[in-house]
Structure 1
Amino acid sequence: MKFKNLRFGRSARLGVAALGGLGVAAMAAPASAATDVETAFIFNTLSFLMHGFLVMWMAAGFAMLEAGLVRTKNTTMQCLKNIAIYSVAGILYYLIGYNLMYMDVSGFIGSFSIWSAADPSITADGFVGEEAGYAAGSDWFFQMVFVAATASIVSGTVAERVKLWPFLIFTVVLTGIIYPIQGSWTWGGGWLSEMGFSDFAGSTIVHSVGGWAALAGAIVIGARKGKFVDGKVHPMPGANLPLATLGTFILWMGWFGFNGGSQLAMGTAADIRDISSIYINTNLAAAGGVVAAIILTQVMYKKVDLTMALNGALAGLVSITAEPLAPAPGLAVIIGAIGGVIVVFAVPMLDKLKIDDVVGAVSVHLIAGIWGTLAVPLSNGDASFVTQIVGIVSIGAYTFIFSLIVWTILKVTIGVRASEEDEVDGLDKAECGMEAYPEFGVGSQRM
């Protein structure tokens, strides 16, 4: 069996089913079971591709969410950053990221080499048999869309004041080096995997990593002009809440690919059963996050805050991502609801610390991601709280320190922050030379 393409930190799921649904009987009698092997190969590959393009659709969700939660004068910039993020992530994961994460991992790091598909047993004449149980290219595609999601998290936090090219340079480092190295520690079979750290689909490996990188950026870049004045927080509401709501629903839908595809196989009845359970728990956790955020904001502020409800959904999704299969549905609701509660308290807490997070990404992806990873032992008997804490702390320290260094280097060399004049005018004009809503611009009002 080839193990290099598999995510190691998933306990029993790396058994027969996760290795392609080949089955003991099929491996013992390959001639008579050739059809079953080929069928499993096809369905496993289809699962990676189908769930992968659902995760890719999350790029649209991030773009719409961020475009709705920034002011009109920065909307074009957010859309540009998000399509650039997805493109940069794909190229970097091809050039260096995938093999650094999965190829010949020796404890802490993989191989510095360009990825290439290797399916020698699949020829133009037909299927001969593939020991991994799926096409190598389908696995690469599925892993690639995950790293793109990580980078999108950073975009929202540092919106409205970061310059385009320094941000894209950071994206290169994040997607090509930072993310793959820490990912190899668990999903690549590295040292955290050997300890028993468990993160099914990436509450820490994907979401908290994005959150730590975003937090480092927010600290180095600083807050938007006018956000914190004389010790007071001045709200800067988003310009298009319907667009932000659409983005949240797109992310919610994409999350079924995020968590469901992380079953890593669809070649047996057991796999399909587990994917169904994952979908149910993923949906219920998001619902729990929304309801908890709605109730809590009504109690605390006497009004229901839509943005908190949207982030409550995302926090619920992040919270269940570390273990979406093992919990009973009722527990999934509770896990998601706690994520929703966390967001309602975390967003104002960051404001008190004078950390300007435009879309609440640090609260959603970092803090709720930590909670979700800690919650794994509640339903997964193979995980321990001590090991989960070790994984959270080690990945967090590595990502935050590495990101802080990169952001600082960019700041002292080429600069990361837009000028005060550009920030006031908006980055759409300053960085892109166009406005998302030109009919409502200053120039149109003079006509």
Structure 2
Amino acid sequence: MADLFAPDPSPVAEVGRPLADRLRPAVLGDVVGQEHLTGPDGVLTRMIRSGSLGSMVFWGPPGTGKTTVARLLAGETGLAFEQISAIFSGVADLKKVFEAARLRRASGRQTLLFVDEIHRFNRAQQDSFLPVMEDGTAILVGATTENPSFELNAALLSRARVLTFKPLEPESVAALLERAERLEGRALPLDDEARAVLIRMADGDGRASLTLAEEVWRAAGEGEIFDAAGLQEIVQRRAPIYDKSQDGHYNLISALHKAVRGSDPDAALYYLARMFDAGEDPLFLGRRLVRMAVEDIGLADPQALVIANAAKDAYDFLGSPEGELALAQACVYLATAPKSNALYTAFKAATRTAKEHGSLSPPRHILNAPTKLMKSEGYGEGYRYDHDEPDAFSGQDYFPESLGRRTFYDPPDRGFEREIRKRLDWWAKLRRERQGK
């Protein structure tokens, strides 16, 4: 696979420039890892061929080439390139940028305005881009690591195309390191295992892989070769790393939940281990396992909640790393348990009905009559104590009379819920008989 970055055309490395900067591509075709955008039939390549660019939002993790691609787009289309960061810019800065873009347009040149971390702008600031996008003053290219659906205004999104940047595949990171070695004129002082660990540490981030490579070169003595343990000692980093406030966190917990729901204990253990390795809070994982027990298993195996809760408490008692095994045990138990969302579905349906009919009074025969007035009004009249009835079942109705009977809980014929189904069917038969229906 081709490299992410092309080397600086100068054979002499510039002193002081970071390696990642020296390896930036010179043309859009040099960018790899994003072939769906920059390849021969990529979205951006087609835009350039058509001679027309529209406003866009680049969405993807750090180190995948968003800034570089924006700069190269401007160069290959003859647009003036203007870059700002939402972290360091305010309303006054935006006004200056917009005015400069208007002056350029008046002289016949359009501006490609690249806004890094665009999700950091508040709603009003995001809205300020709309006029310059609509009248063609500037082509907006925003970059974000956050899901645009949640972080950007609908009005802005309706005027811009969202393009997704993917994390680099290991092959791309490996090729990038090879290009860095050619530029530096020396090999990375790593054995094969350590090299694989460094690629894994980058976690799809091309810039991070080059930063790690620079750290390794700085640390190496004459003739020294690092193994995997030595590499970890140098860079003091666990792998892979993700920001727990961003998409990596939510993607992995979603994958873990779906693997458990899909009864795949091996995949569930894999995602659990990845989150442990990335430094996730184990008690957060414990809480999520408890949620899985009640949402996806419920009464199909009533022990699932007991075991998940016990595992959470065991971790709290043992700490790390010993307590992680308890969470792994619960994870496998949940993945291998019979699945049912009948309780989850029933509770949602009951909640909707309660909101729609929350003003209805319960039938008077099941209400207590603590005062003579309430007794005279019929409270408690006709109530039959179930324990005094045959089979400890009276078959009375308990819903408000105007609402009538409703069925929310419909257990499947599997796991422990098979037994619950038998009970419900038996009680339904008795209810019909005792109500004369």
Q: TM-score range by the shorter chain?
A: under 0.3
Choose between structure 1 and 2: higher helix proportion. Answer: 1
Give the alignment's TM-score, normalised by structure 1: 0.24
Give the alignment's TM-score, normalised by structure 2: 0.24
